[in-house]
Structure 1
Amino acid sequence: MNYVDIGCRALLTVVFAAAATGKVRHGGFAAFVASLAPIRWIGASARRPAALATVAAEALTVLLLWTPGTAPAGYLLAVGTLAAFTATLVTGLRQGTTLRCRCFGHDAGPVRPHHVARNLGLGAVAVLGLATTATTTMATDPAGWAIALLTGAVAGLATTRWDDIAFVLSPPTR
């Protein structure tokens, strides 16, 4: 494990753990299931299983990223999950369907192109992490570990607040 790998794992762990827990706490799961209704390719009877699969994939990603020897599988699961999310968002945006972002449990409003950008960025982090697992450089300095973990965790936390950041950085509306 090298420092880039550690940072990528930390970032993805914060994001996927926040996503999974946000969807299942305080009645959020029922709201998440309901938010899948506008997605045309998910029928009414498949919404709950799709929601369960989503939460399971997010939780399993976190587990695989930190279980010895399974980080590549965790990165691949992250890439696949993010690709499915992104394809769904892009399809919804192109069809003019109003999808609600319940990515972290709460209703963050309608899906916008910045959600697609967020997912593409997370996918790039997962691909980078996967690529770094092939290196033989071993991270041994405790201070380096701490910096990599902290940097990844802070970036992950910022990602979970993506909608707030996009709002603050967006031009004012009249």
Structure 2
Amino acid sequence: MDYFAYGVRGFVIAVFLIAVAGKVGGTGAFSAFVDSLRPLAVVPESAVRAVGLAVVAVEGAICLALAWPYAPATRAGLAAATALLAVFAVVIARSVSKGTPVLCRCFGRSTAPLGRVHVVRNGLLASVAGAGTAAVAAGPAGGSHVGTAAVAWCAGVIVGGVVTVLEDLVSLFRPAVPSFPTE
């Protein structure tokens, strides 16, 4: 496996591990996530909770597959990540095009509405996971130095972590809207 693939594995694990933790890691977090799925109207109301459970389970399974040092598991995990992220992008694009206001609970904590930036983010994440899948499928192209593989992995984890808080970081640089007292 090449160093790029190690970096992508770390990246995708960080993104999905943070997503899972945000969706189940606090009182009411999972319920808030499930409630954010309802306005998307992609499944019948009776199936929304099951879909929420399935999303969390698949995200967790992707993390496990990518943590396992076995190329077929890595390939399957990256392919699943690519597919899941592409589905997210399509569902969000559909919601945005309809003008349906939906809170982004992608990583569990945000109260920002889903928008085009989320479509682009998920499309780019799917592209990275897809490129990682291709790199693993191409077979070993180097990557036998343990230290360099560890650096690639850690760099991927750091970048993945930054991606999950990018929305918060961008909001720090938006101009503040002055609030004036009302009479």
TM-score w.r.t. the length of structure 1 is 0.93
Q: Partner of 1:5 in structure 2?
A: 5
Partner Cα separation in structure 2 for residue 115 and residue 166 of structure 1: 13
1:146 aligned residue (120, 140, 150): 150
User: How many Å apart are 1:80 and its aligned residue?
Assistant: 1.0
- Note the 1:43-58 alignment, pairs <5 A: 43-58=44-59
TM-score w.r.t. the length of structure 2 is 0.89
1:162 aligned residue (148, 162, 166): 166
Task: Provide the secondary structure at the position in 1 that maps to 2:38.
Answer: coil
Q: CA offsets per residue over residues 69-111 of structure 1, 9 Å max, x none?
A: 3111111100111011111100000000001100111133101
What amino acid does structure 2 have at the position aligned with 1:164?
Answer: D
User: How many Å apart are 1:171 and its aligned residue?
Assistant: 5.7
* Deviates most, 102-111 or 3-12: 102-111
Q: CA offsets per residue over residues 110-165 of structure 1, 9 Å max, x none?
A: 01211111111111110110111123223122321222012101100111102113
Are the counterparts in 2 of residues 65 and 71 from structure 1 also a CA contact under 8 Å? yes
How large is the Cα RMSD of the aligned pairs?
1.5
Task: Provide the secondary structure at the position in 2 that maps to 1:37.
Answer: helix
Matching of residue 105 in structure 1 with residue 108 in structure 2? yes
Q: CA offsets per residue over residues 5-48 of structure 1, 9 Å max, x none?
A: 00000000000011012101212001111111111222221110
Q: Partner of 1:18 in structure 2?
A: 18
Partner Cα separation in structure 1 for residue 140 and residue 146 of structure 2: 18
Matching of residue 63 in structure 1 with residue 67 in structure 2? no
Q: Partner of 1:81 in structure 2?
A: 84
Larger radius of gyration: 2
Q: How many residues align?
A: 174
